[in-house]
Amino acid sequence: METTTNPTMVQETETPALPATVQRPNLRQHGYGREIIETIILIGAIYALVNLATVRFIVEGPSMQPTFHTGQVLMISRVNYLFGNPQRGQVIVFNAPGKPATEPPYIKRVIGLPGELVEVRDMKVYINGQELYEPYINEPCTAGSCPNRTWQLGEDEYFFMGDNRNHSLDSRSFGGVKRERVIGEALVRYWPPQDWGIVGTLNYPADPFAAP
């Protein structure tokens, strides 16, 4: 009797294909000379942008004491008022009315806004009949520096005064200042180093007509 042996069945499998070798990009570092040139160009571009957006001014004279003193250097923003208007209490650099562009600009604080009635009465400042709370002034105004008077501002005019009222040439002399004559807002006092600080609406209350 013949014995039949069942052969072992072997299923043929395909050998998995090896993944193709991925070509890595060649990286090459620039030479130091080119890096130095690119760094200089980048610094120059940043410097140009900063100069377009800001300008520096040196304080001269006592008109803004005690907020600022002679010799301090301020950074003035040109762009702040591209998106808004000056607000009461801000410190502004502007060209005074009737003065040539070659004359140094003035730095004062915004007191009156367009359309308001500004009044100096009994050596105090009133806006539309309400007394203005002013914690920033150097000393009380004297009768000689603050005679009784009123100014009605136009729709595009601002009223500026120095913090040192008895030693400041400001809107009490030349009246309202047109918006177009405003250069920018004082943001930072950065020189000398010990006087560094943010300016903004320094020490000005949220409600300008009420003491805290």
Residue pair 176/153 in contact (Cβ under 8 Å)? The answer is yes
Structural domain includes residue 16: no
The total of structural domains in the chain comes to 1
Query: pLDDT value at position 99?
Result: 83
Q: Which residue has the higher pLDDT, 122 or 14?
A: 122
Query: pLDDT value at position 44?
Result: 58
Model confidence band, residue 203 (pLDDT cutoffs 50, 70, 90): very low
121-125, 179-183, 199-203: the lowest-pLDDT one: 199-203
Structural domain includes residue 212: no
Using the structure block, give the residue that is written with the tokens 């009784």.
Answer: 148
Given 77, 108, 168, 171, the catalytic residue: 108
Structural domain includes residue 115: yes
Structural domain includes residue 34: no
pLDDT at 180 over 50: yes
User: Does 63 qualify as catalytic in the annotation?
Assistant: yes
Structural domain includes residue 143: yes
- pLDDT, average across residues 72-78: 89
Structural domain includes residue 208: no
Residue pair 118/154 in contact (Cβ under 8 Å)? The answer is no
Given 63, 77, 168, 171, the catalytic residue: 63
Report the chain's terminal Cα–Cα distance, integer Å: 121
Model confidence band, residue 8 (pLDDT cutoffs 50, 70, 90): very low
CATH number of the domain within which 89 lies? 2.10.109.10
Burial of 112 (C-beta count, 10 Å sphere; 0-12/13-18/19+)? buried
Query: pLDDT value at position 209?
Result: 62
Q: What percent of the chain has pLDDT over 90?
A: 50
3-state SS of the chain is CCCCCCCCCCCCCCCCCCCCCCCCCCCCCCCHHHHHHHHHHHHHHHHHHHHHHEEEEECCCCCCCCCCCCCCEEEEECCHHHCCCCCCCCEEEECCCCCCCCCCCEEEEEEECCCCEEEEECCEEEECCEECCCCCCCCCCCCCCCCCEEEECCCCEEEEECCCHHHCCCHHHHCCEEHHHEEEEEEEEEECHHHCEECCCCCCCCCCCCCC
Q: Which residue has the higher pLDDT, 96 or 83?
A: 96
Structural domain includes residue 123: yes
Pairing of strands 91-94, 149-152: unpaired
- pLDDT, average across residues 93-99: 90
pLDDT at 117 over 60: yes
- Quick: pLDDT tens for 9-65: 444 445 555 555 656 655 555 666 777 776 676 665 555 545 544 578 889 999 999
Structural domain includes residue 10: no
Euclidean distance between CA atoms 90 and 97, whole angstroms: 19
Q: Which domain holds residue 143?
A: 48-198
Query: pLDDT value at position 166?
Result: 96
pLDDT at 112 over 90: yes
- pLDDT, average across residues 99-108: 87
Q: What is the mean pLDDT of the chain?
A: 81
